């Protein structure tokens, strides 16, 4: 399930974030990649312990928990600290699958990467190439969103970032451990939630709203992993 969430951040907010990122000291992105991924990765990342990285990550996390569409699509149990990347000069990230398990820095705990997310921080006309290409059983999804918009997709997906041949592509990326580990069940929950919201909007007093909401929460009880 690939879901686009428009305008997570407004243009003035993106401009402020971009100005901070442009002035930052970047590191080779291969330092955080696994053995296989490092062979196909060519970009720069903001070090996780950089003060700006922590500040911007907190800002992204706060906004995510205020966004109903993100909550409905991912059913987040925990979110790994968002990271920030920079691609230019034919920078790219070839086909790869994200690690299934990530350590949570400074905690000794781990997170299962059920859902991957990319927050675009450059507008499409600012760079050529740089598309996020996600492969699944239904084919390839090519994603290049306006700055401030987010895409979420299964962490199990094979995906890549096409070479950036002009300009600079800034983005944030992160992983979510969901209360519902199965992507098929998350899709059903998302579709059921959407149907409930639609009925409630058109017929708020209809008895089916309560009945379907009951089904939703009982499925969540049955399928959730804590």
Regions of the chain with pLDDT less than 50: none
**Exposure string over 17-56, b if 16+ CB within 10 A, otherwise e:** bbeebeebeeeebbeebeeebeeebbbbbbbbebebbeeb
Instruction: Quote the pLDDT of residue 137.
Output: 76
Instruction: Quote the pLDDT of residue 37.
Output: 67
Q: Which two tokens stand for residue 102?
A: 């990530």
Of 87, 92, 224, 69, the C-alpha closest to 152 is: 69
pLDDT one-digit tens code per residue, 16-71 = 999 999 999 999 877 766 666 667 888 999 999 999 999 999 999 999 999 999 99
Domains of the chain: 3-178 (2.60.120.620), 183-223 (4.10.860)
SS3 (DSSP) at 13: helix
């Amino acid at each position: 399930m690939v879901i686009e969430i428009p305008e997570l951040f407004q243009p003035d907010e993106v401009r402020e974030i971009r100005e901070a990122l442009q002035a930052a000291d970047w590191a080779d992105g291969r330092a955080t990649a696994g053995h296989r991924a490092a062979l196909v990765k060519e970009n720069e990342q903001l070090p996780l312990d950089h003060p700006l990285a922590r500040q911007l990550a907190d800002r992204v996390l706060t906004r995510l928990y205020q966004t109903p569409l993100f909550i409905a699509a991912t059913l987040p149990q925990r979110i790994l600290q968002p990271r920030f990347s920079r691609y230019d000069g034919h920078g790219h990230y070839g086909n790869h699958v994200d690690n299934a398990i990530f350590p949570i820095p400074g905690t000794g705990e781990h997170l299962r990467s059920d859902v991957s997310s990319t927050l675009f921080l450059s507008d499409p006309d600012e760079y050529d190439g740089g598309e996020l290409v996600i492969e699944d059983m239904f084919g390839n999804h090519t994603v290049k969103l306006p700055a401030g918009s987010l895409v979420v997709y299964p962490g199990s997906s094979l995906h890549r970032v096409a070479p950036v041949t002009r300009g600079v592509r800034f983005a944030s990326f992160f992983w979510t451990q969901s209360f519902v580990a199965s992507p098929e069940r998350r899709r059903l929950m998302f579709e059921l939630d959407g149907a409930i919201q639609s009925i409630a909007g058109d017929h708020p007093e209809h008895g089916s709203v309560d009945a379907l909401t009951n089904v939703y929460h009982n499925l969540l009880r049955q399928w959730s992993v804590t």
